[in-house]
Amino acid sequence: MVGIIDSKKPSGRAKPIQYLYAAKLACNTKVKDIKSVFPSIIDERNIPFICMDLVYEYTLLVDGFVLTFLLLPKIDRPASQTRDNNGA
């Protein structure tokens, strides 16, 4: 959403420091300017909460999980491959 990983790639690695940098940038940007700083935000209803969300995510990663995650973008599968349509 804020460019920590490239949404066009099948996977990516992120470190907590990347969330901290994005949080500092978001928290120091006026709400009306967020879309120009983070153009990949799709749902504009999230804009007022970007700062809080990034600080929360950073805090969880550093104080809660203490991990580096492999982030995968949402994968759209054909309906024929979903569990409900296979009867399982």
pLDDT at 80: 63
Where are the domains positioned within the chain? Answer: 12-70
**pLDDT tens sequence across 29-41:** 999 999 999 988 8
pLDDT at 27: 95
pTM for the full predicted model: 0.66
Question: How far apart, in whole angstroms, are the C-alpha atoms of residue 61 and residue 45?
Answer: 24
Closest CA relative to residue 57, chosen from 11, 8, 15, 5: 15
Residues of the chain with pLDDT under 50: 86
Placement of tokens 């492999």 in the chain: 70
pLDDT at 55: 93
Mean model confidence pLDDT for the chain: 81
